[in-house]
Each structure stands twice: as C-alpha cells, then as structure tokens.
C-alpha cells in the first residue's frame, strides 16, 4: 500500500522544524521493480549562507546551486573521494539550506529483525544513490523520495547533538546542536 510522499511544501519551511519532523518518515528508493524502504532515524541541518559548516557559506557556485534552489530537491555530493552524501533542500528558493540524511533503520517484518545504517555513507551505499540524483526533485517519478508512514516521534524521544566532522567551521558553528536522532528507550 502506498503512503503519501512528501511534497516540496513540506520542505519549504524552517529547516530545524523540517529536520525534527523527518524523523520517523521513510526514505524510498525504486530500482527497476525493487523497492528499498527505511525509516529516517538521524538527520543533520545546514542552514543558511552564514552557517560556516555549510557548503553554501562559500556562496553560489556550481556545486552549491542546488542548495539555493527550490525546496524538495536532492543535494548529493562526494566526500573523501568515496562517500556520497544525501541531502534534501529546504526553505525558499534563494536561501541555501539542506538536511543531511545520516541514519536509517530498515525493518524486515518477515524475519522480525532490522538493519541500522548508522552513517550517511552507509545510507547512500545501501540505497544505491549516485551523483545522478543531485538536483532531482524528491518524488516517485525520480526513483528516490520520502513518504509519511504515519509515524510521529515524540519530542522526548529526539536527541539533539552537535554536528559531526565540522570542526573547520569554528566553535560557534561546530557546536550547534543541529543533529537530531531518535532515542531508543
């Protein structure tokens, strides 16, 4: 049964609010007839041209133009020459902001177990996400989208932490608690 996918209007809101609400949503990837589905359990915010941890702090470039575009599009880039990073663009066109998908849990109902993808490189590898998704709208037609499965995560089950690997941005930006993840009690 298909669930409603998140429209650009969901992403065209304040980035921190969208990030918290992405927890419990489902990342969906269609490859031919195969569908890969996993619950988003960890995200990280990059918000605005002044955020020194964001690529957008360098201004509008060929690399960052997707972040300056409309909400609801994928921003995919390579780090360390080997890991793809999957981000969804937020806010209004012209304001550069995006949310990095850092963690996913894959549930296998038939086997009563699950797989935790605890890192953005693991997410893109498992979901077979290539650079070809960069600048593409998050929608079923593209083969990569986010759905609302009706799961709401209580605020008390959301941990806020510092972003990972952004010390280069200086203490003010590196110490922001803009990483959100689900707590398991």
Q: Is residue 182 part of a domain?
A: no
Q: Which residue range(s) make up the domain with 24?
A: 8-148
Q: Is residue 18 part of a domain?
A: yes
Q: What is the mean pLDDT of residues 102-118?
A: 84
What percent of the chain lies above the pLDDT cut of 90? 85
Residue with token string 């409309």: 70
Q: Is residue 17 part of a domain?
A: yes
pLDDT in tens, 112-126: 778 889 999 999 999
Residue 98 near residue 65 (C-beta atoms within 8 A): no
pLDDT of 110 = 67
CATH number for the domain that contains residue 33: 3.10.300.10
- Alpha-carbon distance of 116 to 122, in angstroms, equals 9
Q: Is the dihedral of CA 123, 126, 132, 135 positive or negative?
A: negative
Q: Is residue 158 part of a domain?
A: no
pLDDT of 2 = 58
**Token pair for 183:** 């707590």
- List Cβ neighbours of 128 (8 Å cut-off, separation of 6 or more): 29, 31, 36
pLDDT in tens, 37-50: 999 999 999 999 99
pLDDT of 109 = 64
Strands 179-182 and 113-118: unpaired
**Number of domains, the chain:** 1
pLDDT in tens, 151-166: 889 999 999 999 999 9
The CA distances from residue 95 to 56, 75, 78, 131, in Å, are 9, 14, 22, 22
pLDDT tier for residue 81 given thresholds of 50, 70 and 90? confident
Higher pLDDT, 111 or 137: 137
Q: Is residue 22 part of a domain?
A: yes
Q: Is residue 185 part of a domain?
A: no
Closest CA to 103 of 125, 122, 87, 118: 118
Residue with token string 């690399």: 63
Q: Is residue 92 part of a domain?
A: yes
pLDDT tier for residue 82 given thresholds of 50, 70 and 90? confident
- Alpha-carbon distance of 176 to 77, in angstroms, equals 22
Q: Is residue 104 part of a domain?
A: yes
């Amino acid at each position: 049964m298909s669930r409603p996918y998140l429209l650009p209007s969901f992403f065209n809101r304040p980035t921190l609010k969208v990030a918290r609400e992405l927890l419990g949503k489902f990342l969906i990837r269609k490859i031919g007839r195969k569908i890969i589905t996993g619950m988003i359990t960890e995200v990280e915010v990059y918000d605005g041209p002044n955020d020194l941890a964001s690529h957008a702090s360098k201004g509008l470039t060929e690399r960052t133009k997707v972040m300056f575009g409309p909400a609801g599009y994928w921003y995919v880039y390579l780090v360390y020459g080997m890991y793809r990073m999957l981000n969804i663009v937020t806010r209004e066109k012209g304001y550069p902001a995006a949310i990095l998908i850092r963690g996913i849990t894959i549930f296998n109902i038939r086997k009563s177990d699950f797989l935790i993808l605890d890192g953005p490189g693991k997410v893109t590898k498992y979901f077979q996400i290539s650079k070809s998704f960069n600048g593409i709208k998050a929608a079923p037609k593209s083969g990569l989208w986010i759905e609302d499965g009706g799961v709401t995560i209580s605020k008390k089950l959301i941990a806020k932490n510092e972003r990972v690997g952004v010390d280069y941005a200086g203490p003010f930006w590196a110490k922001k608690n803009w990483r959100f993840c689900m707590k398991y009690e």
